[in-house]
Structure 1
Amino acid sequence: MRGRISVVALLEKYGWERLKHPPYSPDLSPPDFDLFPKLKEPLRGIRFPNLDILNEEVSRRIRDLNKDGVLCGIQALPKRWQSCIDKQGDYIEGL
Structure 2
Amino acid sequence: MAKQVRPEGADHADLATALADMQQATETLAALDAARQLRELVERTEWDLVRTARDEGVSWTRLGELYGLTKQGAQQRFRAKTRRTPKD
TM-score by length of 1: 0.29
Higher helix share: 2
Higher relative contact order (CA 8 A, sep 6+): 1
The structure with the larger Rg is: 1
